[in-house]
Chains A and B, each alone.
Chain A
Amino acid sequence: MSRLNVTDSREMSAADAPAADIGARIELDSVAQVFMHGTEPVTALWDFSLSIPAGQFVSLVGPSGCGKTTVLGLLSGLVAASDGRVLVDGKQVTSPRRDVSYMFARDCLMPWRSVRKNVEFGMQARGVGKSERRAVADEWLERVGLGAYGNSQISKLSQGMRQRVAIARTLALTPRLILMDEPFAALDAQTRAFQQEHFTRLWEKLGCTVVFVTHDLTEAVRLSDRVVLMGSRPGRVLEDVQIDLPRPRRLADDLSDAKFVEYHTYLATRLAKEVHANARSAGGADEDGE
């Protein structure tokens, strides 16, 4: 019950400006990350520094293999940095934190659990009691528009609905930092646009910090306060652009907005240059995955 009250009051205050304690501060300080690709050591990140203030929505974009997902891995505590410091709220990340929620590209729903039990999964994994779990799950299902589907089987849902269940599961943990790895990439164009808009509405009420990895520049500019363009091999920051579009964002009219077009064109040109440079340096044969 106390949880629900917290979220309610949060909605009120978030209407004007999100309070600082709702989002986590992030500091990546000359981080290097080396992993083994078979027997070949690969430097995914080198001298990578990035600082994100509390409550900012930041997108990481860049060509395949630029280490975007590695940054999420470091922040989640699933991967330890080879060198440098990774700080969340000034504390070095050594293991998964309770106030961080990771949302993967695939929805990771469990077919043996009902919709409600899937939303409860994260809370159950963290030992939240049954009745509280259920109340929070039902409230979030209501918010993502799936209030009537609590008892449904996962296999009965459409892709878009599945993704909303995954969002409910992520947000039900009341995270101060959300890590999202191309969460809308698997959806068809209409569904993706709808989910983006839906998530933006939810987030604008919450105001927690988001680090959002995507291939899609349109998506990055639409959703974010800031877009960080990364270059590959090794991963580093190429461009760091503040997106000064007004909030709340109504995504439907974004595409024709002159400012939106300007941001998009600038980033697209810069990204294309980087991709071409990579292709030349690799003799045009560099087409492998991340």
Chain B
Amino acid sequence: MAISMTMRGTAQAPEPRATLEQRTLLSLKKRRRLTAGQVWTLRVASLVVVLGAWQLLVTFGVADELLVSKPSAIGAALFDYLVGGSIYVDILATTVAALLGLTIGTVLGIAIGVVLAKTPIFYRAVSPYVTILNAMPRPALAPIFLVWFGLGIESKVFVSMSIVVFILLLSTIAGIEAVDPDIGNLASSLAISPWRRFVMIELPTSLPFIVAALRLASVYAVLGVIVTEMVASYQGLGQQLVIATANFRMDRAFAVIFIAACIAVLLSGIVSLLERWLRRRWYQ
């Protein structure tokens, strides 16, 4: 401060501080714009290269179109699906089942996780069972659930939920166990009630863990539904995929997979919105 003031008095005064700061800010903005430009160029270019190579390999007969299809055909199939209209029933069936599986699994997973984390003896008693249940290949449950609950929405939701519940359960326990021991001691020295300890300390601490688990679970929820639909179902993208591959319509198969991925992205987006809302609610 003192230096810049004496400098201003001299004849060959350097650039005033305000313009110097302004210039620094502008150059930072410019650099950011450049970086963003590079990122987008690379992003589009890599997509064009991959799709272009695929298209050319098939066109020149290097790859068999019957097996791998080609981007233009997949695009056409996707267009047909979306214009034809009958696919919307399947999209809806898959989306609703995945949402239900995600929601029920999340609520159950957090609830069980909290109970286990708060009752260490009970947790120790049942932890081998939790491990074994979580180790089960869940898609293998699909045929069993189909026998039990039929070809409707129930089986898909159960399979989806059976995956989601463990992701949330284990993360919730990890989150509650991550409470800073010093903060825990501080709370104890204040004779805090168990409920306040949960709401004021354990819940906010485990929130990032739960949100990370939700992101993962939103993808797995769709996976559980699709797998079940592939085994057997009245409606759903999994069933459409089976029909497409059985008829050697690889263009349709890829189009269905693309739609399924979009559903998973949509669910992730919903989780992101939820995350932002939770942060505003809790982090203030």
| A104 at interface by CB-CB < 8 Å | yes
- In the complex with contacts A102-B186, A106-B182, A110-B204, A125-B192 CB distance below 8 A: yes
| A57 at interface by CB-CB < 8 Å | no
| Stretch of A18-26, A114-122, A138-146, A212-220 contacting B (4+ beta carbons < 8 Å) | A114-122
| B40 at interface by CB-CB < 8 Å | no
B180 surroundings in chain A (CB, below 8 A): 108
| Shortest Cβ distance from residue B149 to the other chain A in the assembled complex, whole angstroms | 41
A37 surroundings in chain B (CB, below 8 A): none
> Which listed residue, A78, A101, A126, touches B185 by the CB 8 Å rule?
A78
B282 surroundings in chain A (CB, below 8 A): 112
> Main SS of the interface on chain A?
loop
In the bound complex, do residue A110 and residue B188 qualify as a contact, i.e. CB atoms below 8 Å apart? no
In the bound complex, do residue B204 and residue A96 qualify as a contact, i.e. CB atoms below 8 Å apart? no
In the bound complex, do residue B190 and residue A122 qualify as a contact, i.e. CB atoms below 8 Å apart? yes
A112 surroundings in chain B (CB, below 8 A): 204-205, 207, 282-284
In the bound complex, do residue B190 and residue A104 qualify as a contact, i.e. CB atoms below 8 Å apart? no
**When chains A and B are docked, how far (Å) is the Cα of A256 from the Cα of B145?**
83
B63-105 contact mask (Cβ, 8 Å, vs A): 1 or 0: 0000000000000000000000000000000000000000000
A89-119 contact mask (Cβ, 8 Å, vs B): 1 or 0: 0000001101011101010101011100100
| B187 at interface by CB-CB < 8 Å | yes
| A124 at interface by CB-CB < 8 Å | yes
**When chains A and B are docked, how far (Å) is the Cα of A122 from the Cα of B284?**
16
Q: How big is the A interface, by class?
A: 20 to 34
| Shortest Cβ distance from residue B246 to the other chain A in the assembled complex, whole angstroms | 52
**When chains A and B are docked, how far (Å) is the Cα of A110 from the Cα of B180?**
9
Chain A: CB-nearest residue to B192: A125
In the bound complex, do residue B284 and residue A108 qualify as a contact, i.e. CB atoms below 8 Å apart? no
B200 surroundings in chain A (CB, below 8 A): 121, 124-125
A66-108 contact mask (Cβ, 8 Å, vs B): 1 or 0: 0000000000111000000000000000011010111010101
In the bound complex, do residue A96 and residue B185 qualify as a contact, i.e. CB atoms below 8 Å apart? no
| B196 at interface by CB-CB < 8 Å | yes
- In the complex with contacts A113-B284, A117-B284, A104-B201 CB distance below 8 A: no
B201 surroundings in chain A (CB, below 8 A): 110
- In the complex with contacts A113-B284, A125-B200, A108-B186 CB distance below 8 A: yes
B185 surroundings in chain A (CB, below 8 A): 78, 102, 104
| Shortest Cβ distance from residue A154 to the other chain B in the assembled complex, whole angstroms | 10
In the bound complex, do residue A96 and residue B191 qualify as a contact, i.e. CB atoms below 8 Å apart? yes
**When chains A and B are docked, how far (Å) is the Cα of A48 from the Cα of B243?**
82
- In the complex with contacts A106-B182, A113-B284, A117-B284, A78-B189 CB distance below 8 A: yes
In the bound complex, do residue A104 and residue B186 qualify as a contact, i.e. CB atoms below 8 Å apart? yes
B207 surroundings in chain A (CB, below 8 A): 112
**When chains A and B are docked, how far (Å) is the Cα of A71 from the Cα of B192?**
21
Chain B: CB-nearest residue to A103: B186
In the bound complex, do residue B189 and residue A76 qualify as a contact, i.e. CB atoms below 8 Å apart? yes
| Shortest Cβ distance from residue B220 to the other chain A in the assembled complex, whole angstroms | 27
B196 surroundings in chain A (CB, below 8 A): 124-125, 127
Chain B: CB-nearest residue to A121: B200
**When chains A and B are docked, how far (Å) is the Cα of A102 from the Cα of B204?**
22
In the bound complex, do residue A110 and residue B187 qualify as a contact, i.e. CB atoms below 8 Å apart? no
In the bound complex, do residue B189 and residue A102 qualify as a contact, i.e. CB atoms below 8 Å apart? yes
| Of A76, A101, A122, A125, most B-chain CB atoms within 10 Å | A125
In the bound complex, do residue B182 and residue A126 qualify as a contact, i.e. CB atoms below 8 Å apart? no
| B183 at interface by CB-CB < 8 Å | yes
**When chains A and B are docked, how far (Å) is the Cα of A124 from the Cα of B187?**
11
A126 surroundings in chain B (CB, below 8 A): 190-192
A98 surroundings in chain B (CB, below 8 A): 191
In the bound complex, do residue B183 and residue A96 qualify as a contact, i.e. CB atoms below 8 Å apart? no
In the bound complex, do residue A104 and residue B182 qualify as a contact, i.e. CB atoms below 8 Å apart? yes
In the bound complex, do residue A125 and residue B187 qualify as a contact, i.e. CB atoms below 8 Å apart? yes
**When chains A and B are docked, how far (Å) is the Cα of A126 from the Cα of B283?**
21
**Can you pick out 6 interface pairs between chain A and chain B where the beta carbons lie within 8 Å of each other?**
A76-B189, A77-B189, A78-B188, A98-B191, A112-B282, A125-B187
7 residue pairs, one from A and one from B, having the closest CB atoms: A102-B189, A96-B191, A125-B190, A125-B192, A112-B204, A112-B283, A108-B186
Interface residues of chain B, those whose CB is within 8 Å of chain A, are: 180, 182-183, 185-192, 196, 200-201, 204-205, 207, 282-284
